Amino acid sequence: MIALNRGVAVAMRDGPEAGLLLINPLLTELRGYLPAHAALADLCRRASRLDEARAHYLAAAALAKREPERRFLLQRQTDCGD
């Protein structure tokens, strides 16, 4: 989790691609961790990598335990277009 937080902080400082470089390798370990998919989805969206963003939003939504959270993630996925 510390590495995930660091990746998000780096993305805020240096841009989404820099954060993606740090977070993508963590996904193997954090596959079932909703915040990892949500962070990747947001960074991919901000980097205009919309296919990847949609996939991560869907993965995060599948892990969501609360309906409002799931709806938010699915709406974000829809907002990325087809």
- Rounded CA separation 55/77 (Å): 8
Domains in the chain with CATH codes: 2-79 (1.25.40)
pLDDT digits (tens, 9 = 90+) for 25-77: 999 999 999 999 999 999 999 999 999 999 999 999 999 999 999 999 999 99
Half-sphere exposure (Cβ direction) of 35: Cα atoms closer than 13 Å: 7
Helix H or strand E encompassing 71: helix 67-79
Confidence of residue 1 (pLDDT cuts 50, 70, 90): confident
* The overall pTM is greater than 0.85: yes
pLDDT digits (tens, 9 = 90+) for 12-21: 999 999 999 9
